[in-house]
Amino acid sequence: MSTTTNTINLGPRARRAVRFVAAFVNPLVLLIAGRRWMPVVGILRHRGRRSGRNYATPIGMRPLGDSFVIPRTFSDNAAWYLNIKASGGATVKYLGRTYELVDPEVVDYATAKPAFPRYELLQFRLIGINEYLRLRVGTSPLAGEVGALAPGGGTYPAITNGEN
């Protein structure tokens, strides 16, 4: 458990409202998330910790070295975070490539700062986000060892599953 906390702690009514809006917005965002031309939003695929159901969540993320960093907007209450923590990993589609991610670790602002442009960092600070989830790019029997990511362009080695 992290010693820092985010300031976004929603009550039950607000959480229901967020879920209601997400039910309409997320399917639309999934149409553009994870595409080659969309460096802000990727698709996080994770399995429900209780239901076992597979989920696809559009979420802001950025590569950082051999990992990805995701702002923890709703602290440790977000279902996607609890699912990843329980399973120990997830897959992500980012810039048209699919990656297997492992070793979830909560990191602070200073650790995540190099991954994000200044305008995003300012937004995060203004709304009180100071925790980030870092997931390391893992290996797969299909692709073997995955090398480091190249933030800002270049070749992104990937574990692909045939999705376009």
Do residues 139 and 164 make contact, with C-beta atoms less than 8 angstroms apart? no
Please give the structure tokens belonging to residue 108: 């602070």
Encoded tokens for 70 = 């995701």
Q: Please, what is the Cα angle at 85 between 47 and 157, to 5 degrees?
A: 75
CA distance 79 to 7: 17
Q: Is 12 left (phi over 0), alpha (psi -120 to 50) or beta?
A: alpha
Per-residue pLDDT tens over the stretch 63-103? 999 999 999 887 677 889 999 999 999 999 999 999 999 99
pLDDT tens digits along 98-145: 999 999 999 999 999 999 999 998 888 888 888 999 999 986 433 433
Choosing among 3.40.50.720, 2.30.110.10, 1.10.1750.10, 3.30.830.10, the CATH entry for 12-137 is: 2.30.110.10
Distance CA 65, CA 10 (A): 32
Domain ranges of the chain: 12-137
**pTM attached to this predicted model:** 0.73
Strand partners, 93: 43, 98
Alpha-carbon distance values, 31 to 40, 62, 90, 145, 164 (Å):
14, 19, 20, 29, 12
Burial 101-121 (b: 16+ CB within 10 A, else e): beebebbebeebeebbeeeeb
